[in-house]
Structure 1
Amino acid sequence: MLTQEEPVETLFPSYALHMVEGVQIAFIGLTLEATGSIVSPGGIVGLTFADEVERVNALVPELTGVGVETIVVLIHEGGLQSGLYNECPGISGPIVDIVEGLDDAVDVVVSGHTHQAYNCVIDDKIVTSGASFGRVVTDIDLEISSKTGDVTMATATNVVVTRESADPVIAAFVAMYKQLAAPLANQQIGTITATLEKFAPDDSPGLSTMGAVVADVILDATQDPLLGGAELALMNPGGVRADLDYPKSGSEPVDGIVTYGEAFAVNPFGNNLVVLTLTGAQIDALLEQQFADGQQDNILQVSAGFSYAYSASAPAGSKIDPASIELNGVAIVPDQEYRVGTIGYLADGGDGFSVFKAGTDRVGGVTDMQALQDYFADHSPVSPPALDRITLVP
């Protein structure tokens, strides 16, 4: 636990002070405590992510000690609500407990992470979120006493960005880079017979057509014995970032063309592929980690030939039917070893899949984007695969 007395060395300054008409305002910046589970572990070696409430509350005495009475917290954590973009009915999620635990000296909390838009008052603090991708800008007005430095009135409004007129400087900047990128972005790498969708349909147990194809891409790129000898491949759903649309767009002459730019939107992270060895028992344990902490939306995308069944109503740790886990129609054996292909992010335990870190005999491979290019070159036209690799049972 962090206390005021314990020295903390941060990667970036914990806060910034801004003088506005003679009054100091503190802005405390925080990533979320769960950062370690959603980024590549290899990129955060040596870093720890503190409890958000403890960290803010430890800073408050330091700020009030130098006369700061107005404190704004900027945090990459958020919540969910059921109303419109300027409302707050049923607000839930981590942000609620965080705000309720903050020192009363905090006046405003600007949140994010969930891509939601909301405008709330929680524990007498304004709490906002501006959706995502620049679609909403939050306008926060604070009336502050010049004598005491205290906030005497606070209001917030989420303003929809209508994009009625472009900023000429930004528009010119974007146009320049689009022109520079066009020769590569518009290069055709393959074709599809129908749209490949990143989100699983409502009647699917979690597998999407785009996710299944990406898993097939990983298997295709790593199954050669010289490239790792993968027998199955797994991909995290959050790493599949876009659909591949069948209708033509831009300068495409016909439907079904896949360009480099469209494929890059699907796989923008530049992950290297990795093949590692897991036992059948470890694969079972890995699949159970899909449902850690009550999650139901972190279903790994699986390659053709690999299948299993799970029960959403079963207790945590027992949702997978071990007898249903099959590779090419044959049940996996708990103490038998299997070669599994994935991306480096998952291989390092990303998204909470720590079982991957126990994998042995690791072999690195090409980037996910190169694998995608190669797959479309060899297999076009690519059709949406059947979503029968994962089965949901009562």
Structure 2
Amino acid sequence: MIPLSRLLVAILIPAIAACATVPRGASVPVEVGIIAINDFHGALEPPKQAVPTILHGTRRVEPRPGDAQLDQSERVVAVPAGGAAWLASAIDSVRSKYANHVTVSAGDLVGASQLASSLYLDEPAIGVMNRIGLDFNAVGNHEFDRGAAELKRLVAGGCQPLAARQPCQLEKWAGARFPFLAANSIRPDGSTLFPATGMKTFGSGRRKVTIGFIGATLRETSDLTAKENLQGVTFADEADTINAAIPGLKARGADAIVVLIHQGGRTDTKVAPDPSACAGFTGAIRSILDRLSTEVDVVVSGHTHWAYVCDYATLNPAKPFLLTSAGVFGELVTDIDLKFDPVTRRVISKSARNVIVQSPGYSNARGDLVLVPEFPQFAPRSDIAAYVARYVAASKDFIERPVGKLGGLVERPGGDASNKGGSLGNLVADAQLAATRSAGAQIALMNVFGLRAPSQIAPAADGGVTFGQVYAVQPFANDLVTQTPDRG
């Protein structure tokens, strides 16, 4: 018979040893939140656009067009969204969930911007992101709209005139407080325009984890901007560049790899809209993703202005990473949740959802768009609102200047998602033709995806149209070019 004292010792000693070698809480996963946006395009004010999405749990009275795949407890609603002050509050809300977090962008923070940002060389767009606390931005194609030298000034700070307008008009420009990443943007000497990668570490000791970030833009950027804007900058293959950057990040201690790439895809418009779904995903990014290393954990994408969350393994089982995009104009924020095993420091789970940045309702020629109470309603963050108001006030004379009259509403049917120009596209093409007839033009062509927010011009009661309305539809410094067809 074993004495009780010896039996207790036999039980307690191994338990005490186990506690000594495995600290309390050591097996609890380390959680990191990644808050992601893309294609902000200097949208300082609410863009007067809405995010269509499914509202669950509300019984429909009768079927609506496009609702065929919804059950009787679902319907499609349009949620007014966007605006820098509301975006800031939405990001703060998502951050509050995580002790560890990082905020990132997949390009086109600037360019094709609202007038209050564009008039001031997009300094206020970067100023907003400084105040929001962005950690990394991948360079997009629109970052080059005013040239590589002006982009460098915008990032580094300074008041040297390098573009058509004068910098530092409302503030002495100090630059971005966060790095731009440009792994495949190559200068003539072989170096990258901005750093290729970045890293961020969370926690300490045995619960420390490090995430490596790689930023890339689409290779076709050289086809999307004037050659003189690039000043010798070329764009290398996206997948090859990303894969080549991974070993260096791993050698420096990266436990996970996140790619920020300004290229994207689209989901099937015939399926009921859901900004956190991935039905029928297609697009130019797929040929890049299918060649990426399996070391990649998350891809944050952009460029197409589409919102989606994809478990890419369902599209290609060999590539089990998470793919996300947050649409356009700060109308959505992607909440990405990574959990790490603290012993192996490997990612053991990853999930994401797109949060609609609901902002005030508005009226347009189609009627009133009201708040949807079933979705979170964000208050504008006061510091961002005051900063934006300063630039909007300074732009008032430009925005409100009358430029002509219209006999009625002109619009692009389907908005940003549409491949039709409608009466708005025809109006732009007619204006281009009128401007170039003296050069012999007989027909004008308009790229439908060059029609921007709010995809319509609604004249005032007297038919009046302002410069601000026209600029919102065409926020580019485009040149008109006439060409003669080759008759040979």
8 Å CA contact 1:244, 1:263 repeated in 2: no
Q: Which residue of 2 aligns with 1:154?
A: 350
Q: Which moved more, 1:14-23 or 1:207-216?
A: 207-216
SS for the counterpart of 2:348 is strand
Residue 475 of structure 2 corresponds to residue 261 of structure 1:
no
Q: 1:176 aligns with which of 372, 377, 390?
A: 390
1:19 matched to 2:201? The reply is yes
Q: Does 1:210 align with 2:424?
A: yes
Counterparts of 1:202-281 in structure 2, within 5 Å, are: 208-224=422-438, 228-242=439-453, 243-246=455-458, 248=460, 254-275=461-482, 277-279=483-485, 281=486
Per-residue CA deviations over 1:325-380 (Å, capped at 9, x if unaligned) read xxxxxxxxx25xxxxxxxxxxxxxxxxxxxxxxxxxxxxxxxxxxxxxxxxxxxxx
Q: Mind listing any 5+ residue stretches in structure 1 that lack a counterpart?
A: 249-253, 282-333, 336-394
Please say if 1:187 is aligned against 2:420: no
Q: TM-score, normalised by structure 1?
A: 0.61
Q: Post-superposition shift, 1:239?
A: 2.7
SS of residue in 1 equivalent to 2:397: helix
Relative to the length of structure 2, the TM-score reads 0.50
2:127 pairs with 1:127: no
- Secondary structure of the corresponding residue to residue 33 of structure 1: coil
**Higher percent of residues as strand:** 1
Instruction: Give the AA of the match of 2:478.
Output: N
Amino acid paired to 1:157: R
Matched, 1:63 2:275: no
What CA distance in whole angstroms lies between the structure 1 residues aligned with 2:219 and 2:289? 14
* Equivalent residue in structure 2 for 1:30, among 204, 212, 216: 216
Shift of the 86–260 alpha-carbon distance from structure 1 to 2, 3 Å rule, reads same
- Higher alpha-carbon deviation: 12-21 or 169-178: 169-178
1:264 partner amino acid:
Y
Moved more, 188-197 or 236-245: 236-245
Residue aligning to 1:88: 278
1:168 to partner: Cα distance: 0.7
Q: SS state of the match for residue 27, structure 1?
A: strand
| Helix, strand or coil at the partner of 2:349 | strand
Paired with 1:259 and 1:71, the residues of 2 have a C-alpha distance of 47
Identify which of structures 1 and 2 has the higher relative contact order when contacts are C-alpha pairs closer than 8 Å and 6+ apart: 2
TM-aligned CA deviation for residue 34 of structure 1: 2.0
Deviation, 1:107, is 0.7
What's the offset of the Cα at 1:232? 3.9
> Per-residue deviation at 1:147?
4.1
Q: Which residue is 2:227 aligned to? A: 41
Cα distance change of structure 1 residues 74 and 205 upon mapping to structure 2, 3 Å threshold: closer
In the alignment, which residue of structure 2 is the partner of 1:308?
A: none
How far, CA to CA, are the matches of 2:197 and 2:412 in structure 1? 38
Structure 1 residue 229 displacement after superposition = 4.3
Q: Is the 8 A contact 2:433 2:441 kept in 1?
A: yes
Distance apart, 1:231 and its partner CA? 4.2
- Letter in structure 1 aligned against 2:395: A
- Matched residue type, 2:286: V
Identical counterparts, % of pairs = 39
Provide the aligned length of Structure 1 versus Structure 2.
Answer: 266
In structure 2, C-alpha distance between the alignment counterparts of 1:136 and 1:195, rounded to whole Å: 28
C-alpha separation in 1, matches of 2:353 and 2:442: 53
Q: Whole-Å Cα distance in 1 between the matches of residues 295 and 199 of structure 2?
A: 15
Q: Is the CA contact (8 Å cut-off) linking 1:69 and 1:105 kept in structure 2?
A: no
Give me the whole-angstrom Cα distance separating, in 1, the residues matched to 2:380 and 2:421: 38
Maintained 8 Å contact 2:432/2:444: yes
Alpha-carbon shift at residue 220 of structure 1 (Å): 2.4
Aligned-residue Cα RMSD (Å) equals 2.7
Shift of 1:246: 3.3
Q: Indicate which of 10, 15, 19 corresponds to 2:192.
A: 10
